[in-house]
Amino acid sequence: MSAHNEKPDVQAALAALKEGFAKKIPAKVEEIRQSWETLKLSESSSDTFHLLHRQTHTLAGTSGTYGFDKIGKVAKAIEILLQDELTEDRTNWSKARVGEVEDLLVQLEIFSQETSGAEGSDLQVAPSSQASLLSGQVASKLIYLVDDDIDLLNAMTMQIQTFGYTVSAFSDLECFEKALKHHSPDVVVMDVMFGEGAKAGIEHISRINSERDQPLRTIFITGSHDVLTRLDAVRANGLGYFPKPVLVEHLIDALDLLTHQLVEEPYRVVIVDDSEDQSEFAALVLQQAGMETKVVNDPLQLLHVLSEFLPDLILMDIYMPKCSGLELSKVIRQMDSYVSTPIVFLSSEHDLKKQLGAMSLGGDDFLSKPVEPWHLVSIVTSRVKRGRMIRKLAETDGLTGLLNHTKSKERLESELARAKRDNTPLSFAMLDIDHFKHVNDNYGHPAGDRVLKSLANMFKQNLRPYDTVGRYGGEEFVVILSSTDTQTAKTIMDKMRIRFSEISHSSEEGEFTCNFSCGIASYPDFDSGTILSDEADKALYEAKEGGRNRVVLA
């Protein structure tokens, strides 16, 4: 560790030096400009040439030391161009080379004005909130992005916003910390190296976390690849670590994962027991562990409760009047919808044979009363975790995490039933990425997969939680918009289409963009799942025939 924490006066002294240096930058850049102009007039002046080389070399080195990386990089680029000329015959200065130096010099002058005008390298981009596609949309997650490379900052802000996050960008650690006092972001994306030090980003987060009850959820991005930095990042509670250049799709995956954890639904447990005392006890224990519970004292009411409460797990007494837990579990296992819902028996039965018998009838575990609270919680937790995982595997598409074909169709039927019952409209959209084969052929399958994921992410982020997105197969997706009529659905899908076409995808073969075609059919115009699906498919075909990258209504 550096002496950073014990010696705040050093930081202050360094900041003062930095400020002093910042003021000198414009004059240094002006000197470089003058040498360059002189050199252009007197081609043979080797002295001027060496002077210019030296001036750029010095500026590159000092700017880097003081953390003015942008200026340092441009100065370095000029130095390298000059260096090349030093080793070659200087009479061969090509027009292109002169142009290159000119361009770099202009960049240098712009950066130098920015630096002196903005008090050091301070710059804060105002938080820009993403216009919601639909009223009543859940608030999007807030990301604080901190990096002193302003070009990178702007580019990343744009890209992350595309996926429906609200991004506040900071080029400066101080501004970031001030903003923290007003708002806690869902995730911080933090550069490692700043003017304050090669690991200033990590050190800063570390210190902030030590003053907080809950550490900031932080992802570090860095140009450094060494293990020690990585280790420091982990010690500062870093949840992710991405070497630059950061692949935006990967970063979004990590953000999705982190922000999703925040909203993971509490485990839902149904407790079936004829004894009110026993069931209340179990309910209390599980509630204290953060779970939602529903107590059923009349076993015959269970099936009704199941369909409403949709539990992750059923905790069931074996000996009950009217019907036994064993019989009830057989009934449950005969219903497709609950085939994967774990059942845990709770009983004073100590006979191992009977316990095993209970398991063979569809139970997943057996707990003997009286059960220790911690034991109950741990058994329920591990069963629910596994149960949710299995359900997810069975119902979703592995690559995108969207509902799979079968589940999407099921959802269409159930949403349609609800729409009919509530007398509200419903729109069903089918979409297909244009020329997707071309993407796979030219940019490789990994790049193609990332395109599919980015489309899935964009929808997940931008639609309301109760809308459904599914992957029908290949590059074909479906969207079910509840309470949404045809025209509104078209507006929404058009916005999504445009936004998707603006995402820049990266691959080893270079960057590229994609777009999609879409067909929409709505209830009550069409009133069965099959017809909606057929009509949307026809409209999609029309969109393709009509030149692609468009939305067509059935």
Q: Which residues bind other proteins (CB under 8 A)?
A: 2-4, 7, 9-10, 13-14, 17, 21, 24, 54, 57-58, 60-66, 72, 76, 196-200
Instruction: Using CB atoms within 10 Å of the CB of residue 25, give its burial: 0 to 12 exposed, 13 to 18 middle, 19+ buried.
Output: buried
495 in Cβ contact with 130 (< 8 Å): no
DSSP class of residue 132 equals P
Per the CB < 8 A criterion, the answer to whether 316 and 337 are in contact is: no
Give the end-to-end CA distance of the chain in Å, rounded to a whole number.
65
Residue closer to other proteins by CB (options 18, 268) is 18
> What is the distance, to the nearest Å, from the Cα of residue 167 to the centroid of all Cα atoms in its chain?
12
User: Which C-beta is closer to other proteins: that of 201 or that of 363?
Assistant: 201
Phi, psi of 522 (to 5 degrees): -130, 150
Is residue 342 reached through a cis peptide bond, with omega within 30 degrees of 0 on the bond before it? no
Element (H, E) at 482: strand 476-482
**Cα 449 from chain centroid (whole Å):** 16
Neighbours of 285 (CB within 10 A): 19
Look at the chain and count its residues: 554
Measured distance CA(265)–CA(307) in Å, rounded? 18
**Distance from CA of residue 540 to its chain's centroid?**
29
Q: Are strands 365-368 and 343-347 parallel, antiparallel or unpaired?
A: parallel
Please, are residues 484 and 492 in contact by the beta-carbon 8 Å criterion?
Answer: yes
Kindly calculate the radius of gyration of the chain based on its CA atoms and give it in whole angstroms: 31
Peptide bond into 524 cis (omega under 30): yes
Give whichever of 76 and 460 is closer to other proteins, judged by the CB atom. Answer: 76
Q: What one-letter code names the amino acid at 135?
A: S
Residue 196 or 475: the one with the smaller Cβ distance to other proteins is 196
- Please, which residue, 60 or 285, has the CB nearer to other proteins? 60
> Residues near 406 by Cβ (< 8 Å), separated by ≥ 6?
395
CB of residue 407 to other proteins, shortest distance in Å = 53
- Non-local (6+) Cβ contacts of 331 within 8 A are 303
Contact 429, 479 (CB under 8 A): yes
| Catalytic residue selected from 249, 349, 475, 535 | 475
Distance CA 472, CA 480 (A): 12
Shortest distance in whole angstroms from residue 135 CB to other proteins: 50
Residue 335 has phi, psi (to 5 degrees) of -100, 125
Q: Which is nearer to other proteins, 62 or 506 (CB)?
A: 62
Give least dist CB 121 to other proteins, A: 14
Nearer to other proteins, 66 or 443 (CB): 66
30: annotated active-site residue: no
d(CA 59, CA 21): 11
> Residue 13 or residue 394: which is nearer to other proteins going by CB?
13
Catalytic residues: 475
